Amino acid sequence: MDDQGRGGQKVWTPLLFSIVLVAGMVFGFNMHDTLRNKRDITTVIQRNDRLEELIDLINEKYVDTVNNNQLYSDAVSGILKPLDPHTVYIPAEDLQGVNDDLEGGFSGIGVEFSVIRDTIRVTSIVENGPAGRAGVQIGDQFIKVGDSVVAGNGITSDRITHLLKGKQHSRVYVSLKQVANGLPKEVTITRDIIPIYSVDASFMIDSITAYIKINRFSATTYEEFSNALKKLTAVGAKQLILDLRDNPGGYLDAATSICDDFLDDKKLIVYTKGIHTRKKEFRGNGDKGLFEKGKLAILVDESSASASEIVAGAVQDWDRGVIIGRRTFGKGLVQEQYALPDGAALRLTIAKYYTPSGRCIQRSFAQGRDAYIQDYEHRFENSVLSGRIPDPIPDTTPYYTSNQRLVFGGGGIKPDVFVPYDTSRLSAPLLSMIYSQEMKSAAWDFFIMNKPKLTYSNIVEFNEMFKMEDKVIGDYLDLLKPTALTQAKKVLKNSESYQYFRLLVKAHIARFLFRDNGYFAISLKDDDAVHKALSVFGSNEYSKILGKR
C-alpha cells in the first residue's frame, strides 16, 4: 500500500480536477446497502446476445486481428455514455481493488511503502501485522518478492501491491536490504487480512474539542468512528469537528449510522426513490446516540461527495450543527452493483436521494460528462473557490431547515460558513515542489538520517520538543539535487510559502512516527477551516447560524 498522497492536504488546481472526479466515481458509488448485496445481472434481465454476436462476427470476418476485451469494453462504455456520469462499467481486473476499499480490508502483508529512487522502502508497518511479526522494519528495502526483482527502473506501486496481495494464510518470500545495517535478509511472511482504515485521524485539538477525519464510507467506517468518538468523549470532548473534506463517499448505511449518533429520536436522515425504485426512508433508530448534544461542525469541500453529502445535508436540515468549507461535489444518485459473467461489474444508478428537507443535491449533467467534469475547473478559474466571486446557486428552489433557514439543492451542499481556497499561500509552484518526487525522497532521507534522535513517545511530546528551526529546514533542503534545491529556494522566498512548508515538513516527520494521526495533529495548526470551526464554537455565532434563540 503506497502511503504517498494519503492523508495529506489535498489541494485544488486545474490539473487535479479530473483526478479527483475519477476518485469520486470510484469510491462514490452509494449502494443501497453494501456490496454484500450485489446482484447477478442475469437474475434481473433476460439474456440478450446481440453484442456478443456482433463481436463474434467481427472476429470471423474483420480484415485484421482485434482485441475482444477492448471491443467489449468500448462497446459497453458507448452504451453507458448517454446515462449519468456515475453509472459505470468496472472491468474484472479493476473490481477487486475497488471492492477492497469499500469492504475495509484485503489479504496482504501489512506494510505501507513508497517508491523512492526506484527502490521500495517500507514507510509504515501495521501493528501486530504479518510483516511486523516476520521482523520487517520501517526503512527496509524490498529487493525481491518471490522470484520477482522489485528494484530498478520502471517499478510501480501497482506491481508491488499485486505481488504482495494474495489469499489469506498463503506465504510470500521476500528478500530485504535491512535499514539497520545494510545487510540482506530473507523473510517468509504469511498473508492475513489487513484493514483499510477509513478514519484517518482522531484526537483532541484542545481540552474540549475532538477532531475526527473520515476518508471514505466503507463497511467498517461506523465501527471505526464510534470507537474513536467513545474514546474522545471519555477524555472530555464536548464539541466535535468532523472532517469530510476530500471524502468521495461510499456506503449509504455507514453515513446514516453516523447521522443517527448526532440526531435524537427517529428523525428522517435521507430518503431514496426512482422510477423503478420505491421510496425508501432511512431514519434514526430512536436509541440515544453517541453525540446528540455537543456542538458539531462538519468540514466539507469540492470533493466531499455522496455519503459525505448525506451526513452534511441531514445535519444542516435538522440544524444539528454548522457546515463549514466550500460547496460540495453534488452527487445525489444511488448506485446498485450488478455482477457480470466475466467477473466485471456494472454500477447502475437506480435512484436519487433526498435530504430531510426534500432537497436532491445532484449537480446537473445535462450538458454531458465533459461539462460535468469541467465544472470544477470553471469554479477554480472563475475565482469561485477563492471567494472572489460569489458561488452561484445552481437551483433556486427554496427548501427550509427545521429552524426555517433557507437552503437550496441542485448542486451540492452549500456550507453555512464559507472558507475560501487560499490561492495566495497554496501557489502552483509551491504545490508542484511539495508533491514532487525530489521532495518525497528528501523527506524520507531526512527521516532515516534523524531517526535515532526521534525518540518521542507521543505526538504531544514530539510537537513540543521537535523545533522546526531554520537550520533544520536548511538540512532538509540540502538533501535535494542542485536543480531542485535552486527551485525550492526561489519558491520559499515567499514568507507565507516558507512558513507553510516548514509546517508540512514537521507534519510529514510526524506521519513517519505516528502515522496519519501525527500528520493531522501538526498540519491542522495552519488549517483555516479548523480555525473557523473553533472560532464559531467559541462565540454566539454558532447559535446565530443555526437560528437558535
In the chain, what are the domain boundaries? 23-86+198-337+351-421, 105-195, 428-531
Q: Could you read off the pLDDT tens digit of each residue along the chain, which spans 549 residues?
A: 443 333 333 333 433 443 344 444 444 444 444 344 456 666 566 556 778 888 889 888 889 988 888 888 888 888 898 899 999 998 888 888 888 777 878 899 999 998 888 889 999 898 889 999 999 999 999 999 998 888 876 778 888 888 899 999 999 999 999 988 889 999 999 999 998 899 999 999 999 999 999 999 999 999 999 999 999 999 999 999 999 999 999 999 999 999 999 999 999 999 999 999 999 999 999 899 999 999 999 999 999 999 999 999 999 999 999 999 999 999 999 999 898 888 889 999 999 999 999 999 999 888 888 888 888 778 877 888 888 888 887 788 899 999 999 999 888 999 999 999 887 777 888 888 888 888 888 999 999 999 889 999 999 999 999 999 999 999 999 999 898 999 999 999 999 899 999 999 999 999 999 999 999 999 999 999 999 999 999 999 999 999 875
Q: What is the pTM of this model?
A: 0.88
Question: What are the cell numbers at 10?
Answer: 489535498
In whole angstroms, give the CA distance from residue 521 to residue 524: 6
> What pLDDT sits at residue 103?
81
Distance separating alpha carbons of residues 184 and 332, to the nearest angstrom: 53
In the chain, what's the furthest Cα-to-Cα distance?
77
Task: Give the per-residue pLDDT at 96.
Answer: 83
Handedness of CA 443, 445, 449, 455 (dihedral sign): positive
Q: CA nearest 108: which of 193, 173, 172?
A: 193
Rounded to whole angstroms, the Cα distance separating 402 from 404 reads 5
Determine the residue type at 299: L
CA distance 19 to 432: 16
Residue 290: exposure state from Cβ atoms within 10 A (0-12, 13-18, ≥19): middle
Domain over 23-86+198-337+351-421 is classified CATH 3.90.226.10: yes
Which grid coordinates are listed for 485? 534545491
**Who's near 278: CB < 8 A, 6+ residues apart?**
none
Tell the residue number behind the cell numbers 453494501, with chain if given.
Answer: 34
Give Rg (Cα) of the chain: 24
Q: Is it true that domain 105-195 has CATH number 2.30.30.170?
A: no
Residues 6+ apart with CB under 8 A from 422: 386, 528
Q: Measure the CA–CA gap between 323 and 416, rounded to whole angstroms.
A: 5
Beta bridge partners of 184: 177
Helices (H), 188-347: 221-234, 252-262, 307-317
- The terminus-to-terminus CA distance of the chain in angstroms comes to 50
Q: What length is written for the chain?
A: 549
C-alpha cell at 209: 474539542
Position 9: which residue type?
Answer: Q
Residue 522's nearest CA partner among 443, 464, 446 is 464
Q: Which long-range contacts (CB under 8 A, 24 or more apart) does 11-15 make?
A: 11/421, 11/426, 11/431, 12/301, 12/302, 12/376, 12/380, 12/385, 12/421, 13/380, 13/428, 13/431, 14/377, 14/380, 14/381
Give DSSP secondary structure letters for 92-125.
HHHHHHHHHHHHTEEEE--EEEEEETTEEEEEEE
CB 210 within 8 A of CB 231: no
Q: Which helix (H) or strand (E) holds 271?
A: strand 268-274
Retrieve residue 506's grid coordinates. Answer: 514537521
